[in-house]
């Protein structure tokens, strides 16, 4: 199984998908790929606009995406995809639409059989067992919270350490600690912006220059660099 799970699409001051594009190219290889793109997390702009924006960047690295909304039969589109690319946006809408269109099982099946999977933000969230560690406002109600479960741990993309000045509410760490209090067997990876997780068969590594923050019930949060072992996260409870 091959996964590229990216925290965020864009770093401040950069173009869309600028920082991860070389990693995406390395992941997909030199041969041109016609990937199926899932734009369902887009809320304030159209699926056509999303497809165009992604293709502008993918063209720079010799690849192409076709949005799944263009297919009469989206299940067949996934079955025949060279790769599956899931964009960021609102995770709740993304999950609801994937469930309603019957795509969760077929995506999981294809990726388990070797179809490469790339997701950023919401697209990385749904590779986990559940959407419960998303940052998004629940603007839609999905059928259930379960997602693809391609990995046994949870990701919190866009992980932030800071508590803004004059803000009295919970930090991101506070929210994750609430999650692990009631989900005691599950690891959560605080995936900071500018970083991503690469799974190649049974080897999980961190890409990027910032550390990941790892949470587990009964343990102090720990910081891991891209030189440290992440494979313990693949152990299923």
DSSP notation for 193-214 = TT-EEEEETTEEEEESSSPEEE
Distance CA 73, CA 36 (A): 13
Distance CA 12, CA 201 (A): 32
Distance CA 13, CA 225 (A): 24
Distance CA 31, CA 146 (A): 34
In the annotation, is 158 catalytic? yes
In the annotation, is 136 catalytic? yes
Exactly one of 158, 162, 202, 237 is catalytic; which is it? 158
Exactly one of 7, 9, 67, 121 is catalytic; which is it? 121
Reference 172, options 186, 156, 187, 185; nearest CA is 156
Indicate the SS3 state at residue 222. strand
Is residue 203 within 8 A of residue 118, CB to CB? The reply is no
Is residue 65 within 8 A of residue 37, CB to CB? The reply is yes
Exactly one of 136, 167, 201, 237 is catalytic; which is it? 136
Residues designated catalytic: 121, 136, 158
């Amino acid at each position: 199984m091959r996964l590229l799970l990216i925290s965020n699409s864009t770093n401040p001051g950069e173009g869309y998908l600028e920082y991860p594009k070389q990693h995406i190219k390395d992941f997909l290889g030199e041969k041109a790929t016609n990937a199926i793109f899932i734009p369902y997390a887009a809320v304030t702009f159209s699926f056509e606009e999303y497809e165009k924006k992604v293709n502008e960047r993918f063209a720079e690295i010799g690849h192409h995406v076709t949005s799944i909304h263009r297919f009469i039969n989206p299940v067949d589109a996934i079955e025949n995809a060279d790769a599956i690319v899931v964009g960021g946006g609102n995770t709740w809408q993304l999950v609801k639409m994937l469930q309603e269109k019957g795509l969760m099982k077929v995506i999981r099946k294809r990726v388990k059989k070797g179809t490469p999977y790339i997701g950023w933000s919401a697209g990385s969230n749904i590779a986990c067992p559940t959407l419960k560690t998303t940052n998004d406002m629940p603007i839609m109600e999905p059928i259930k919270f379960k997602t693809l479960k391609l990995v046994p741990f949870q990701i919190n993309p866009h992980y932030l350490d800071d508590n803004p000045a004059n803000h009295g509410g919970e930090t991101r760490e506070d929210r994750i600690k609430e999650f692990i209090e009631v989900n005691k067997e599950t690891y959560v990876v605080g995936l900071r912006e500018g970083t991503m997780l690469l799974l190649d068969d049974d080897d999980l590594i961190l890409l990027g220059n910032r550390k990941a923050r790892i949470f587990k019930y009964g343990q102090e949060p720990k910081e891991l660099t891209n030189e440290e072992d992440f494979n313990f996260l693949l152990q299923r409870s």
